[in-house]
A = this chain, B = another copy of it.
Amino acid sequence: MAGSTLGNLFTITTWGESHGAAIGVVIDGCPAGLSLDEEDIQIYLDRRKPGQSRFTTARKESDKARILSGVFEGHTTGTPISIMVENTDQRSRDYGKIKDCYRPGHADYTFDAKYGFRDYRGGGRSSGRETIGRVAAGAIAAKILRQLGITITAYTRSIGDIVIPENEYHYDQITENALYMPNNDYAARASDYLAECIRKQDSSGGMIECAITGVPAGIGEPVFHKLDAALCSAVMSIGAVKGVEIGDGFQAAAALGSNNNDSFRLDAGKLTKATNHSGGTLGGMSDGSPIILRAAVKPTPSISQPQDTVMRTDCQELTDTTIEITGRHDPVIVPRAVVVVEAMTAVTVLDLLMRNMSSRLDSLIKFYRS
């Protein structure tokens, strides 16, 4: 499978560069009959837009989504849905040193190493703008999941070393602060910290957490396309993510079995778990509990401090240099990446739900003989 396609039944193929003509996604395998219009997409895209707070760049991006196919009379037809956002800011400009330099923490060098050259305008394909296609696809997947009783909520768990303790989550506050944190007090502290980062021409990392509720037990395809493996891959494929964990995750490495095991119990005749250290998966399949995933996001690599790096001279030779990355840049990637995590998660869960439909012969018989 080529690099820009994800999924088996509900597949998404993103395309586009930061400063190319447009950016978009083709969603294939979307079930027919879903009520869908451009506003459904736009609501999600707006969540990743910059300029929403002083910690996201003030660049003006209109990012209006157009649905070009796959929807007829307000409903998905089952055929590929093509969604495009035109890049309004494509004027030729002077990219200066960025054209020849390898920015530390960016993919400039690796793109050159792989393909022999690169589209250096604004990060090209490795720009955060690539996630527009992911988010548009996620909006559709999430809309379907809601109809199945499944909700996905992502939020900022930490910025720098400001981490919200688990018992202080207030989910209703997530949309009350520009950092999408489920605790306004911690958000205020994080804001101060980010203001300090800006002053120091520096940036900060952070952590995104995502909770998925309503997934029936048994979703995921052992042994390689397990739910947790698929979620990790999807989330790790987001540019700045450096680690992913499920449930207790890395804490489980220090735990005892007697504590880490979640005992089963009956609650009103229904099997439940007394705890959820597993984070909603057992043997790589959903176990009916909320699925809890955390992603570590590195600090924004673009900082205006001078940094040592290497550049390619006109005669294609490498030479040492320093670079200061000018322009406005978010001091933190996390808040804008929250909706991207939600989108990747939605796409992955839906794909595995569709895949699961043929797991049992009796389901197949019921589907085709009734």
Known: A33-B361, A72-B17, A104-B263. A77 touches B110 (CB 8 A): no
Q: Which residue of B lies closest to A297 (CB)?
A: B253
How many whole Å from A22's CB to the nearest CB in chain B?
Answer: 5
Q: Does A361 contact B147, Cβ atoms closer than 8 Å?
A: yes
Say yes or no: A253-B158 contact (C-beta < 8 A), given A223-B14, A244-B243. Answer: yes
Q: Using A124-B77, A148-B369, A149-B369 as known contacts, say yes or no to A225 and B3 having CB atoms under 8 A apart.
A: yes
| 20 more CB-based (< 8 A) A-B contacts, given A104-B261, A205-B257, A257-B302 | A2-B221, A10-B358, A16-B69, A22-B68, A31-B358, A32-B116, A32-B359, A32-B360, A33-B116, A72-B117, A77-B118, A78-B360, A105-B261, A114-B285, A116-B360, A148-B365, A202-B256, A205-B254, A266-B318, A357-B367
Partner of A364, one of B31, B116, B296: B31
What residues of B have a CB within 8 angstroms of the CB of A285 in the complex?
107, 110-111, 113-114
Given the known A-B contacts A106-B283, A264-B310, are A358 and B357 also in contact in the complex, defined by CB atoms under 8 Å?
yes
**Interface membership of chain A positions 304-321, coded 1 if the CB is closer than 8 angstroms to chain B and 0 otherwise:** 010111100000001110
Nearest CB in chain B to that of A368: its residue: B148
Instruction: Point out which of A257, A269, A283, A362 has the most chain B C-beta atoms below 10 A from its C-beta.
Output: A257
Instruction: Classify chain A's interface size.
Output: 35 or more
Asked whether A206 is an interface residue with its Cβ less than 8 Å from the other chain, the reply is yes
Closest residue of chain B to A309 (Cβ to Cβ) is B264
Q: A79-B17, A232-B236 are in contact. Are A246 and B243 (CB under 8 A)?
A: yes
A367 CB to nearest B CB, Å: 6
Residues from chain B with Cβ under 8 Å of A59 in the complex: none
Contact between A252 and B299 (Cβ–Cβ < 8 Å)?
A: yes
Binds B, one of A43-51, A164-172, A178-186, A348-356: A348-356
| In the complex, chain A residues 244-303 whose Cβ is within 8 Å of any chain B Cβ | 244-258, 260-266, 269, 271, 274, 278-279, 281-288, 296-303
The smallest C-beta distance from A102 to any residue of chain B, in angstroms, reads: 5
Contacts of A82 in B (CB 8 A): 15-16, 22, 24
A236-B228, A249-B296 known; A115-B77 Cβ under 8 A: yes
A300 to B105, CA, bound (A): 38
Whether A104 contacts B363 by the Cβ 8 Å rule is no
- A56-83 with Cβ < 8 A to chain B: 66-70, 72, 75-82
Q: Who on chain B is nearest to A161 by CB?
A: B254
Minimum CB distance partner of A123 in chain B: B283
Report if A125 contacts B (CB, 8 A).
Answer: yes
Q: Does A189 contact B (CB under 8 A)?
A: no
Q: When the two chains form their complex, are residues B33 and A4 in contact, meaning their CB atoms are under 8 A apart?
A: no
Do B307 and A72 have beta carbons less than 8 Å apart? no
A342 within 8 Å of B (CB atoms): no
Residue of B nearest to A219 (CB): B114
List 6 A-B pairs, minimum CB-CB distance, nearest first: A107-B283, A243-B245, A3-B221, A114-B218, A203-B257, A233-B233
Q: Answer yes or no: A98 CB below 8 A from chain B CBs.
A: no
- Find chain B residues with CB under 8 A from A203 CB: 256-258
Our pick among B80, B115, B283, B355 for the contact of A14 (Cβ within 8 Å) is B80
